[in-house]
Amino acid sequence: MHTTPEKLEQFERLLAIMSELRAKCPWDKEQTFESLRTLTIEETYELADAIMKEDKTEIRKELGDVLLHIVFYSEIGSETNDFDIYDVCKGLCEKLIYRHPHIFADTQAENSEAVMQNWEQLKLKEKGGNKTVLSGVPRSLPALIKAHRIQDKARSVGFDWDQREQVWEKVQEEIHELKVEIAAMDKDKMEAEFGDLFFSLVNAARLYDINPENALERTNQKFIQRFNYLESKTITQGKNLKDMSLAEMDVLWEEAKSIR
């Protein structure tokens, strides 16, 4: 991307608008880091939805909303002289340069796998080397994403399968252990074994370079589409889903599956 004075002017304009809103708008004046937190999470998920839909117009709009939050937090930080947007940008620039020595220094990285391993090793060296391997995984991440991130971190220091095909033995082992607890009807152990099974499946997805969050969301959207078809066809026939047999619903479900 070629940066021009006109493009930089828009960023300066955004900062000026944010400062004015913070000074004059009753709602904006009341906001804190804590009050914005849940709104930021919501905006991030809306961006994720737009990306899943591959809607470039919506992606642009949602990126603007996320950028607004970054500027908002920075404006609040500047009011107490803790940091401002320039500190945020400077820190980010320095981190990117430090963590890309294959670009800005003399380290070699032939592929993306090597880049990621360098990245994780450099993160461990930061802050005097006091970080543990898994300390960089946010506690508030959704469980599915967290499992994938945990496994990625462990892989970066060599804790991984020798051959990815080996993971399927682990998946089968977890299925067997889950069935044992289901037979015993021990609710607590069943939950624990379900967790182990999910974790092993996430591991399998990672080893085959599949993002488990994206994979599950694709299935969610597929189910929604098919169920909506089932429901709309039922209404068209003057029926109610609650009054239909499973066999009748299966016929419409198979129709829905044939539609791309």
Q: What's the whole-model pTM score?
A: 0.69
For residues 164 and 125, the model is more confident at 164
H helix runs in the chain, sequence order: 5-24, 26-30, 33-53, 56-79, 85-98, 101-104, 112-125, 143-156, 167-184, 187-207, 212-236, 246-258
What pLDDT does residue 106 have? 83
What pLDDT does residue 1 have? 65
Q: Any idea which residue has 């009341």 for tokens? A: 30
- Dihedral Cα 74, 79, 82, 83, nearest 10 deg: 30
What pLDDT does residue 123 have? 74
Phi, psi of 254 (to 5 degrees): -65, -35
Mean pLDDT of 228-248: 88
Residues composing the chain: 260
- pLDDT tens per residue, range 35-57: 999 999 999 999 999 998 899 99
What pLDDT does residue 33 have? 97
What pLDDT does residue 103 have? 87
Q: 114: pLDDT confidence band, cut at 50, 70 and 90? A: confident
**Is 99 in contact with 118 (CB distance < 8 Å)?**
yes
Q: 215: pLDDT confidence band, cut at 50, 70 and 90? A: very high
Mean pLDDT of 2-20: 92
Vertex 15: Cα angle to 20 and 64 (nearest 5): 110
